[in-house]
Structure 1
Amino acid sequence: MAGAENGEIADAATDRPETPNSESQLSGDGDKPERLSKLPLTRIKAMMKMDPDVTLASQESVLLISKATELFIESLAKEAYVHARQGKRKTLQKKDIDNSIEELDSFAFLEGTLD
């Protein structure tokens, strides 16, 4: 049974598309490269290496941290935008971000960081 599981794992691994090793990947319909991350990966890697426990950071891990950061910022910005729209404004203000942090439990760890 273990041999069948290993064969299934090997088959699943060969069916997956290869992950890109660089910041950009060629898109299928044009010759302009499509960026996988909107944040500078070299700076993120440098910030990761500031932690004394981190000696090596693979390109995949840097890309994953970058993508997670983008999604976090997007989520916070969308919530802050809801508060701006309630105030009949189009421009985000610090108070909109503060209100979002206070309102949602998922942002509770940010309380007091913008003071």
Structure 2
Amino acid sequence: MSGNKSPVKSRDTQLPMYRVRTIMKSSPDVENIGQDSLYLVTRATELFIQHLSQQAYEMSCPEDIEYKHLAEVVQTSDNLLFLREMLPRKITVKQYREIMERKRAEANKTAE
């Protein structure tokens, strides 16, 4: 890095830095957020979104990217394990009812 520091401006990012700051401040562990840190977190978030979108795009070709593609990338990538509860595979109401019925049946068996 050179000694010439230029001020970081939100126009240097695609995501609004004020929204990223709001999200960061929602953590009780965060008190102060420096401008450089805010910029780096914003850029890292943009790069992460770009990576996830690219993976979903490769899976969706030639279709448009849909939720199911994003969910599939998350469900099949070990390094995205932390997102699995937030982006689950879609299931139908019928499938949900079948799952819940199986769980009830299993719970009844163990209760006996």
Give the TM-score, by structure 1 length.
Answer: 0.68
Match of 1:82 in 2: 58
Match of 2:92 in 1: none
Structure 1 or 2: more strand by fraction: 1
Helix, strand or coil: the match of 1:114?
Answer: coil
Structure 2 Cα separation of the partners of residues 67 and 97 of structure 1: 20
Letter in 1 for 2:66: Q
**Unaligned runs of at least 5 residues, structure 1:** 1-14, 25-34
Match of 1:114 in 2: 87
Q: 1:57 aligned to 2:14?
A: no
Q: Pick one of 20, 26, 46 that aligns with 1:70.
A: 46
> What pairs up with 1:1-80 in 2 under 5 angstroms?
16-23=2-9, 35-80=11-56
Structure 1 Cα separation of the partners of residues 25 and 66 of structure 2: 32
State the Cα deviation string for residues 55-105 of structure 1 (Å, max 9, x = none): 1100000000000000100000000001111xx31x111110111112221
> What pairs up with 1:91-110 in 2 under 5 angstroms?
91-110=64-83
Question: Following superposition, which runs of at least 4 residues in structure 1 exceed 6 angstroms of deviation?
Answer: none
**Unaligned runs of at least 5 residues, structure 2:** 89-112
Letter in 2 for 1:21: P
